[in-house]
Amino acid sequence: MVATGLDMLLSNTERIKKRNIGLIVNQTSVTTDLSYSWHVLKERGVYVKRIFSPEHGLFATEQDQIAVSDQPAHGSELVSLYGNTAGTLIPDSAVLDHLDLVIFDIQDVGSRYYTYINTLALFMEAVAGRDIEIMVLDRPNPLGGEIVEGPLLDEAYGSFVGVFPAPVRHGMTAGELAFFYRDIKKLDLNLTVIPMEGWHRSMLFPETGLFWLPPSPNMPTFATAEVYPGMCLFEGLNVSEGRGSTTPFQLSGAPFIHPFELAERCRSYGLEGVLFRPLWFKPTFHKYCGEVIGGLWQQVTDRSRYRSFATGVAMTAAIHELYPGQMQFLRGVYEFNDTIPAFDLLAGNSHIRTAIERGADVASILSLWHHDEVEFLGRKQQYHLYHS
């Protein structure tokens, strides 16, 4: 079984006693017996002055893009880092006073969109130049550490779903990303990473021996995380990404979609490691709540060949071609940004959307980010803390 950074820290807590500590945590910050870190640390005589919670809240009680305010009591001062404005994503200077150590311990899902690592990055910027140590307790990248996929983020499309200049599937752990971000931003920062034991880059989450705890309300299983790098793009479409069902992101659909027609078109692209099953479903909340809509179930058959981002882009192109004038790229406020389409914020550029809109063939679209993947694969190796 993999020993997480938290497990390793708990084997010697003397190093953090007599410190004024803040924790950036949620309900995934647990020991191997599922005890919450803040409880165990207090039992060991460690002083936890303040807890910072990310999007969704300490116990992931809130849906996406919902401000977190009232949260269950837990015995420590609690500060939400996800409110009604972009300013709430950054800790106020006053809540950093009297802290000399802030510990980050949240399970990531291996995708650039997922906001917990972005919370870490923004927090690092906020404490740069101050006498506050940032300590990352590392946890596995559920998708492993070898495969990267998708385009690099164009900094003009930076947002809370795009902070790291990395591909969508980045193949790094939170600790590795922290070192990477410190360097590219040239942050004056005292950064420590407590590495895991027993994790290898080729290892996917089911091989770790750890329990999967849903890190957010719509990430119930590892299978969800597996398809998420591509299917999160549907948050930028008037197509349901499966929220309101028990299998979000594996399901997708809309009232104007004819499932068998769409499945046939998606199969024609020769995408590897995945099957498309046509179906209908009824979301109980979010897009098309209470409506029976047509769509697809995405079944991963070969994890080594499956490319989620390419699959999500290909599905988007198929829907756009089959249902012209019906499928739309959404515009409006998305993660505090009201000037750039959500699809572009997620993709990290506008090239993919515009190629789809002009009817480019799918093979050419899927080749758009190959150079970015090759470049990043070489670059990220200097930050590797673990071997294959």
Contact 55, 115 (CB under 8 A): yes
pLDDT digits (tens, 9 = 90+) for 180-221: 999 999 999 999 999 999 999 999 999 999 999 999 999 999
Identify the pLDDT of residue 65: 79
Is residue 381 a part of any domain in this protein?
A: no
Q: Based on the domain organization, do 259 and 157 belong to the same domain?
A: no
Is residue 296 a part of any domain in this protein?
A: yes
Residues 6 or more apart whose Cβ sits within 8 Å of residue 126:
90, 91, 93, 96
Which residues constitute the domain of residue 143? Answer: 5-213
How many Å apart are CA 5 and CA 139, to the nearest integer? 6
With a pLDDT cut of 70, the percent of the chain lying above it is 99
Whether pLDDT at 72 is above 80: no
Q: Based on the domain organization, do 38 and 89 belong to the same domain?
A: yes
- Characterize 329-345 residue by residue with b for buried, 16 or more Cβ atoms within 10 angstroms of its Cβ, and e for exposed: beeeebbebeebbbbbb
In this prediction, residue 255 has a pLDDT band, given cuts at 50, 70 and 90, of: very high
Whether pLDDT at 74 is above 70: no
Indicate the pTM of the whole model.
0.96
Listed residue (353, 369, 346, 355) closest to 158, CA to CA: 346
How many Å apart are CA 155 and CA 2, to the nearest integer? 35
CATH number, domain with residue 354: 3.90.1150.140
Is residue 384 a part of any domain in this protein?
A: no
Is residue 358 a part of any domain in this protein?
A: yes
Whether pLDDT at 350 is above 70: yes
Identify the pLDDT of residue 388: 87
Is residue 200 a part of any domain in this protein?
A: yes
First to last CA, the chain: 16
Q: Based on the domain organization, do 121 and 181 belong to the same domain?
A: yes
Q: Based on the domain organization, do 204 and 141 belong to the same domain?
A: yes
How many Å apart are CA 71 and CA 282, to the nearest integer? 30
Domain-terminating residue out of 157, 188, 213: 213
pLDDT digits (tens, 9 = 90+) for 224-236: 999 999 999 999 9
Whether pLDDT at 73 is above 70: no
CB atoms under 10 Å from CB of 120, counted, come to 24
pLDDT digits (tens, 9 = 90+) for 285-325: 999 999 999 999 999 999 999 999 999 999 999 999 999 99
Identify the pLDDT of residue 66: 81
Domain-terminating residue out of 160, 192, 213: 213
Considering its fold, how many domains does the chain have in total?
2
Q: What is the DSSP letter of 353?
A: H
CATH number, domain with residue 190: 3.40.50.12170
CB atoms under 10 Å from CB of 373, counted, come to 19
